[in-house]
Chain A
Amino acid sequence: MELLALFISAILVNNFVLYYFLGICPFLGVSKKIDSAFSMGLAVTFVMTITAVFSWLINHLILIPYGLDYLQIVSFILVIASLVQLVEMFIRKISPPLYQALGIYLPLITTNCAIMGLALIAVLNNYSFVETVIFGVGSGLGFTLAIVLMAGIREELDLADVPEPLKGAGIALIVAGIMALAFNGFLGMIK
Chain B
Amino acid sequence: MEVLIPIITMGALSFLFSFGLVFAYKKLKVEEDPKIEEVSEMLPQANCGACGYSGCRAFAEAVVRGDAAANGCPVGGEEVANKVAEALGIKAGEVIKKVVRVLCRGTQDAAKNRGVYLGISTCYASHLIGGNKQCSYGCLSYGDCVRVCPFDALYMGEAGLPVVMEEKCTACGKCVDACPRNLLELHPISQEIFVFCHSLDRGPTARKVCKNACIACGICVRACPEAIVLENNLAKILDYKKIDPETIPDIEKCPTGAIGRLRKDDEG
Interface residues of A (CB under 8 A from B): 58, 62-63, 66, 68, 71, 74-75, 78-79, 82, 85-86, 89-90, 92-93, 96, 104, 158-159, 161
Contacts and interface: CB of A to CB of B under 8 A. Distances in A.
Contacts of B128: 159
B120 A74 contact: no
Interface of B: 5-6, 9-10, 13-14, 17-18, 20-21, 24-25, 28-30, 54, 120, 124-125, 128
Contacts of B120: 159, 161
Contact of B13 (A78, A92, A96): A78
B33 to A, nearest CB: 13
A33 B192 CA distance: 36
7 contacts: A68-B9, A71-B6, A78-B14, A86-B21, A89-B25, A93-B30, A96-B30
Nearest to B14: A78
Contacts of B30: 92-93, 96
Given A90-B24, A93-B29, A159-B120, 14 more contacts: A62-B13, A63-B9, A68-B6, A68-B9, A71-B10, A75-B13, A78-B17, A86-B20, A86-B21, A86-B24, A89-B28, A89-B29, A159-B125, A159-B128
A40 to B, nearest CB: 18
A79 B16 CA distance: 10
Contacts of A96: 30
B9 A79 contact: no
A5 B14 CA distance: 36
Nearest to B17: A82
Given A159-B120, A159-B125, A66 B17 contact: no
A63 B9 CA distance: 9
The 6 closest A-B pairs by CB, nearest first: A82-B17, A89-B28, A93-B28, A86-B24, A92-B30, A68-B6
A78 to B, nearest CB: 6
B10 A85 contact: no
A115 to B, nearest CB: 15
Contacts of B29: 89, 93
B25 A74 contact: no
A58 B10 CA distance: 11
Residue among A78, A90, A161 facing the most chain B CB atoms (10 A cut-off): A78
B124 A159 contact: yes
Nearest to B2: A67
B221 to A, nearest CB: 34
B9 A62 contact: yes
Contacts of A159: 120, 124-125, 128
B247 to A, nearest CB: 39
Nearest to B8: A66
A97 to B, nearest CB: 13
Nearest to A91: B28
Nearest to B20: A82
A89 B25 CA distance: 7
Contacts of A104: 54
Contacts of B25: 89
B18 to A, nearest CB: 8
Contact of A85 (B6, B14, B21): B21
Contacts of B20: 82, 86
Contact of A158 (B6, B9, B124): B124
A75 B24 CA distance: 20
Nearest to B128: A159
